[in-house]
Amino acid sequence: MNITVIYPKQAPKVYKICAEEFCRLCGEITGETPRMITDDIPIDSLSHTKTVVIGGKEVNRYAAHYKGKLPVTEGTDGYFISTAELCGNTALFLWGGRGRSTLYAVYRYFEKFLSCRWFWDKDVILRRSTLPFEDVFLAESTANEYRGTRYFAHRGLHRFQAEHWNASDWQREIDWLLKKRLNMFMLRIGQDDLFQKAFPDTVPYPPSDKPLPFTGDGFNDRTLFWDLRFRGELRKQILEYAIDRDMITPEDCGTMTHWYSRTPVEFLEKVRPQLLSQPKGTNYADATGLVWDIRKEENLELYFRLTDTHVKEYGQEGVFHTIGLAERAFSESRQENMRLKRLTYRLICQRLKETYPNSKLLLASWDMWMFYTPEEVSELLDSMDREQTILFDYTSDSARKSNLQSWGVEHKFPYVFGIFHAYEPSNEIRGDYQELIKRLSRTKGDPFCKGVVFWPELSHGDPFMTEFFASNAWQIKEQTVDEQLEEFCVNRYAESEKMLSVWKTVLPLAKLMSWSKYEEVTPWVETDIFCRAAYFLDMEKDDPRYDDYLLPLGKMQSESSKALEKLSSLWSTENEMQKRDCFDLARTVITRYLNGAFIKICREYIRKTDTRNLQNDTTELLRLYTRLLGENDEFTLYHTLEKLKKTHPVNPAFTPTLKRNCDNLYCRSNIYECARDVYLPETKMLFDMLSEGKYDKECLLKKCEQNRISFEKAPLIPNEKNGDIPQILLECADIIGRKSFCF
């Protein structure tokens, strides 16, 4: 097989990357790697070779030889793939409206015509002797201008928290985004070394072997694991990699102070910006977490110096993002708070118009979802310039009354439909997919819908959601949930029918933990109760909504038990992705029933019913689940810490920080060390009190705090593995099938 790949010499770097990716994938499939040449060679040198032309006629002079219809608009994310005659031979034209869509064309060719499949954790590539060069044609475009993901600032386990990722992790992630025809990602994991670069005479780099001087507790402890200079170099490398591939990387601007992007104490002491106060005891009461009052021109200037520095050092102008005054209250008067928040947005918009006049501003919806009424959102947007601003809604899947559908933006104001899906600790399978399909369908044909984004507080928690979002971001699908799930299973698994059967059992359980199920946040639904029961269960309150959770678990008890048995039998597969998903499916089943057990124990205690059998079975199930987590490195802090060390030396003061970042009442999740040393001991203390009829919450919490302090001081050590995951799953299936779990 003799193939020559021609890429444009005088064009952005992304076109050469397209050629390199085509050659790499061809080599993996056929064992032969094509040669690469630029478009400045004579055409008669191509007479004895199959030719691949990368890019359209605006960049590649060989593309001018294409005589067919051109079904793609220059500058867009549309593309077409076509064979046509060139120099007497059949040539393959990969033609995008711009750089990134030409890269889409490359990946789509291998996906559509060679059955390649792209997943975040692995590509599926089948070997063949040749590539198809006959009767190839595909033209595709999207109406969604923004299709992207957000990576957030929480820490914990390597797989789920992007701040832990190194350059190769990020390169694989960005490649996956492009393979799925996404065009935007946002690296919102703190401000890195912006203060040091923007104010070098004011803010020094902190020591790399000590806690940060302005650190807090829990997730507010932002002590660094890698040296700040290295983090800056890594950020630059990541964003350059994305920008070289023509991706959108929104720039933060305006009032950027948040719990993960705090003001260094040196800046506060030397510059002394005026601060907007917060009530004591809130997450932002400390001076490092207070927003600078941008009603003062000098403070607005200081904030934009950070933005300008990021544009210069790391990013690109064009698309900006602001959270406004998110999660803040500055006065007991609601009207005064709203006036201040609206003014802040106007000042940010005005400054952007002056400095970056052709830019777009993505207006984050989080604060609107949390604190605004629908009428207040409408009033705010009525004051915004529709040519400049886009409502960047990433709470479109919320069940609250105040959401995208009640804000009056559909068919009226530019917006992006966003799927939040999960809080930081929610690292198993979740989501109400039926409701998502209904809401996504409302955007079809709405010219004011500018895209679809996925904006959770963690990454790669739910493997189906990852694919569901990516495919619907390009074009809202006309398929049911079951149809999309079947397609997912066929593409991903060797034993697709068996896996599909388990998925169909688990999805109704996943739905029980939708992230925004009620008007208010309910800790026993939106974040797992089994890892914080001593704190959050109210042993004196029988919430009628408990039935919303317990009754479905009861109806599905037998199916759920059998699902774990099936997963036990499927564990022997050599398919890595199937194995990972078996583990995630099993975690979902087990944690739902752990949650249900704790809720039932609470309810029966209030009713003065003997729950000792259920307590014993729940403790046994939690012990088994702890062992299960310990069998998988992805769920151990020790493994996460060791991966960090392989990338760059780790701050010796960071280990307690890592534990604090995970063991706080917002972030507790499916982590082996926490389950072993915190959740199990707390469960025993709680159940001992209940069995003795001497429940005393204040006393219980004191004991829990003492245990938490001991956990924080202990070193992280390797977990012991016995390789008995199938047996653990069978034992969990047996417990869930018992009479005590008849909810």
360 closest CA partner among 238, 474, 248, 244: 248
What whole-number distance in Å separates Cα of residue 443 and Cα of residue 195? 40
**How remote is the C-alpha of 557 from its chain's centroid?**
31
Number of Cβ atoms within 10 Å of the Cβ of 384: 19
What pLDDT was estimated at residue 27?
97
Strand residue runs (E) in 176-229: 184-187
What one-character-per-residue DSSP string does 19-33 give? HHHHHHHHHHHHS-P
What one-character-per-residue DSSP string does 566-577 give? HHHHHTT-S-HH
364 vs 32, 172, 318, 516, 628, CA distance in Å? 48, 27, 16, 18, 38
What pLDDT was estimated at residue 99?
98
733 closest CA partner among 580, 575, 556: 556
84 vs 66, 133, 526, CA distance in Å? 7, 9, 54
Which positions ≥6 away from 631 have C-beta within 8 Å? 719, 721, 722, 723, 724, 725, 728
**How remote is the C-alpha of 372 from its chain's centroid?**
25
What pLDDT was estimated at residue 44?
75
What pLDDT was estimated at residue 45?
76
What are the structure tokens assigned to 313, written together?
């050092």
What whole-number distance in Å separates Cα of residue 683 and Cα of residue 427? 21
Length of the chain: 743
What one-character-per-residue DSSP string does 292-351 give? B-TTSHHHHHHHHHHHHHHHHHT--SSEEEE-TTTT----S-HHHHHHHHHHHHHHHHHH
Q: Are 740 and 614 in contact (CB under 8 A)?
A: yes
User: What domains sit in the chain, N to C, each tagged with a CATH number?
Assistant: 3-140 (3.30.379.10), 146-478 (3.20.20.80), 501-632+722-741 (no CATH)
213 closest CA partner among 152, 262, 281: 262
What are the structure tokens assigned to 720, written together?
């012991």
pTM over 0.95: yes
Number of Cβ atoms within 10 Å of the Cβ of 326: 19
What whole-number distance in Å separates Cα of residue 151 and Cα of residue 163? 8
Which helix (H) or strand (E) element contains residue 238?
helix 228-244
Strand bridging mode 146-151 / 3-7:
unpaired
Spatial strand order of the sheet with 251-252 comes to: 184-187, 146-151, 449-454, 415-419, 389-392, 360-364, 319-322, 251-252
In one letter, which amino acid is 402?
A: S
Provide the 3-class DSSP secondary structure of residue 92.
strand
What one-character-per-residue DSSP string does 642-696 give? HHHHHHSPPPTTHHHHHHHHHSSTTT--S-HHHIIIIIHHHHHHHHHHHHHT---
What pLDDT was estimated at residue 278?
86
What are the structure tokens assigned to 677, written together?
């040393």
Number of Cβ atoms within 10 Å of the Cβ of 75: 10
In one letter, which amino acid is 442?
A: R
Q: With a cut of 50, which residues of the chain have pLDDT below it?
A: none
What whole-number distance in Å separates Cα of residue 232 and Cα of residue 192? 6
What are the structure tokens assigned to 195, written together?
């203060």
623 vs 85, 536, 557, 677, CA distance in Å? 66, 21, 20, 11
What pLDDT was estimated at residue 199?
98
311 vs 251, 319, 355, 436, 686, CA distance in Å? 7, 11, 12, 35, 52
What are the structure tokens assigned to 165, written together?
């990722």
What whole-number distance in Å separates Cα of residue 331 and Cα of residue 278? 8
What whole-number distance in Å separates Cα of residue 694 and Cα of residue 687? 10
Residue 320 half-sphere exposure, CB side, CA atoms within 13 Å? 31
